[in-house]
Amino acid sequence: MDFEARKVIEALRSGIPSRTIGGYFGAARAELLAELSEWLDTKPGGGKLLTGNYGEGKTHLLNTVFSMAQNKNMAVSIVSLSRETPFNNLSLIYKKVAQNTYLPRREQPGFDYLLDNLTSINMTELQLYAAKSLQTDRLYYLLRALGNSDNPDTRFTLHADLQGDFITNMQLKKIYREIFAEKVVFSANFTKTKHVWDYFLFLSRLFTLSGLHGWVVLFDEAEHIGRLGRKSRFGAYTNMAKFLRPETNNANANNTNANNALALFTMTNNYVTQVIDGKDEHRYLAEAEGFDRDAIGDSLARIESAPELPRLPATSS
């Protein structure tokens, strides 16, 4: 029995969206899919946001985009937001993104294969990028240690860090000292709350150096942002802007092409009425202190102007 055919049959029988179904049944909404296909071919990065009613196929659409991007030789990350995956916690989001990143022609998630097969030239370029273009130089020391260690336990620890299980600064200093007999002095001490965006930029650069066409990040059920407290929602909107506004994504303003990630968010189409209007987001934002109001305002505007999924065509008997 054809295993792939059985997966399709069982997915259709259960009614649960899946990447298998998305890869085969993408003919509906052809105009939207053509637009998204063209968007996947653009550079630099940026984001889109689509809304729709419950059950109108938002998750199925993301699975279709997943297959389209893989066929274009792109890395794809797919994450569903939830109470356990709140968008205001960017370090947790990074871990979920890293653990759910799929390379073309590979069934299992992860990017260890790319790290282990970088040429010496590309590893040197990646280290230089980490030293010069990010907010901290932590990743420079981590990548240099990774490129010069033959210890399986050390390599496992460093790989785990790059996948979101962050080791402490002291642990990294110890590892580096054991390999090079040199003391590490960071330009700035890395903290997850302030500097985790460096890791997103690192991944983007890794995929580019590895010859992939790009990177698309798919965020499903973004309406969960509305269930957070007000300050947490403002933090989530700030993080959303990092994915939606490519021109402000980069730690180094001179490196305008540092992030080639394309992000696609889907959420229910009642978010504006129930959350933005219902919880008076604009008024409270005007009174808030300590937030990037421009970034939050941009995210709110993008949500308010987000297009709805076109209705599926009715079939004639």
DSSP per-residue letters across 77-120: EEEE--SSS-TT-HHHHHHHHHHTEE-TT-SS---HHHHHT--H
Q: What mean pLDDT do residues 170-176 have?
A: 97
Q: Position 97: which residue type?
A: V
Beta bridge partners of residue 264, listed in sequence order? 48, 218
Assess whether the previous peptide bond of 313 is cis (omega < 30° from 0).
Answer: no
H-helix segments, the chain:
3-14, 19-24, 30-40, 58-71, 90-99, 112-116, 120-132, 138-147, 152-162, 169-180, 192-195, 197-209, 230-244, 271, 281-287, 293-304
Mean pLDDT of all residues in 117-140: 95
Q: What is the mean pLDDT of residues 33-41?
A: 92
Q: Which residue type does 194 have?
A: K
pLDDT at 294 over 50: yes
Q: Specify the pLDDT at position 257.
A: 37
Distance (Å, whole) CA 236 – CA 223: 11
Residue 30: per-residue pLDDT: 85
Confidence of residue 21 (pLDDT cuts 50, 70, 90): low
Calpha distance 32→21 (Å, rounded): 18
Residue 59, pLDDT > 80, answer yes
Place of tokens 């260890």: 112
Give yes or no for residue 182 having a pLDDT over 50: yes
Topology of domain 19-104+212-304, CATH: Rossmann fold (3.40.50)
More confident residue, 254 or 71: 71
220: Cα within 13 Å, side-chain hemisphere: 20
Q: Determine the distance from the C-alpha atom of residue 37 to the mean position of all C-alpha atoms in its chain, rounded to a whole number.
A: 18
pLDDT in tens, 194-237: 999 999 999 999 999 999 999 999 999 999 999 999 999 999 99
Q: At 101, give phi and psi (nearest 5°).
A: -100, 130
**Of 59, 56, 32, 48, residue with least CA distance to 220:** 59
The maximal CA–CA distance of the chain, rounded, in angstroms, is 76
Q: Does the pLDDT value for residue 38 go beyond 60?
A: yes
Tell me the mean pLDDT in the region 107-134. 94
Residue 149 to residue 123: CA distance in whole angstroms: 13
* Overall average pLDDT of the 237-251 stretch: 77
What band does 77 get if pLDDT is binned at 50, 70 and 90? very high
pLDDT, the chain, mean: 88
pLDDT reported for residue 46: 82
Strands 214-220 and 261-268, by their bridges, are: parallel
Query: Alpha carbon of 191 to those of 83, 90, 282: distances in Å?
Result: 23, 12, 30
What is the predicted pLDDT for the residue at 174?
A: 97
Domains of the chain: which residue ranges? 19-104+212-304, 115-194
Note whether 63 and 21 are within 8 A (CB): yes
Amino acid 3: pLDDT: 58
Do residues 261 and 216 make contact, with C-beta atoms less than 8 angstroms apart? yes
> Is 315 or 218 the better-scoring residue by pLDDT?
218
Has residue 317 got a pLDDT over 50? Answer: no
Q: How many residues does the chain have?
A: 317
pLDDT range class, residue 259, cuts 50, 70, 90: low
- Sequence-distant (6+) residues with CB within 8 A of 273 are none
* pTM for the predicted model, two decimal places: 0.88
Compute and round to an integer the Cα radius of gyration of the chain. Answer: 21
CA distance 317 to 305: 36
